[in-house]
Amino acid sequence: MLSVIISGLDIMINKKFVQQLKKDYAKNGSERRQIISLSNIVLHDSKRVIFSLHRGDIKKAEESLREIEKILTDLDKKFGHCRLADEGSYKAGVEEYIEAKMFYLVSTEQKVDKLKNMNMDVDSYLGGICDLTGEMVRKAVNQAAAGNMKEVEKMKEGINEIMAELVEFDMTGYLRTKYDQAKNNLRKMEQVAYEIKIRNK
């Protein structure tokens, strides 16, 4: 019979290593709180931009966009894109900003395009552009109520053009949900255009 006796075995842990872990953990928590706080400002102010644009207050929207872009640039310089991308609050804020910025471009008759000097990822762009279609429908409804049929037609054509491009992407996960919502926005837009056409006969 074979017997194995292990005696005097001490399992030790490097205390300096543990102390470093504590520091890193505390640093990560501090960074996270800062990122969440500023990302919430980006999210809230981006919603204000959209509200201003629906009211036709382009100047106010531009001022808010400049402030948001300064926050995003400062965040990127301080923490780096990889660190920021780990935080859900940051991703939500960026997506709302892209939606607002794209709606600003549409509202000022500019092309939906890559944002200069802004470090944005593919998912954020696609999510923001999908959400943009909802604001375009809302604008079309408001313009229809004001009797501006030319603007309604422009929004309809714009959504059609966006969807013709988005259909080329094989979106999955939450982006698939965004895409399905955008498709639904196109149907809403078509319904609005149809009701206007019937009413004007």
Per residue in 149-182, pLDDT tens? 888 899 999 999 999 999 999 999 999 999 999 9
Has residue 190 got a pLDDT over 50? yes
Identify the burial level of 188 via C-beta atoms within 10 angstroms of its C-beta, where 0-12 means exposed, 13-18 middle and 19 or more buried.
middle
pTM score of the predicted model: 0.87
What token pair was written down for 49?
Answer: 């931009």
Q: Would you state the pLDDT for residue 9?
A: 52
Nearest to 107 by CA among 144, 136, 64: 136
What is the set of domains in the chain, with CATH numbers? 31-112 (1.20.58.190), 121-201 (1.20.58.200)
Per residue in 9-20, pLDDT tens? 557 888 888 888
Has residue 7 got a pLDDT over 70? no
What token pair was written down for 121?
Answer: 């990822």
Q: Would you state the pLDDT for residue 10?
A: 57
What is the secondary structure of 69-102 as a DSSP string? HHHHHHHHHHH-HHHHHT-HHHHHHHHHHHHHHH
Has residue 60 got a pLDDT over 50? yes
Q: Are 119 and 77 in contact (CB under 8 A)?
A: no
Of the pLDDT bands very low, low, confident and very high (cuts 50, 70, 90), residue 4 is very low
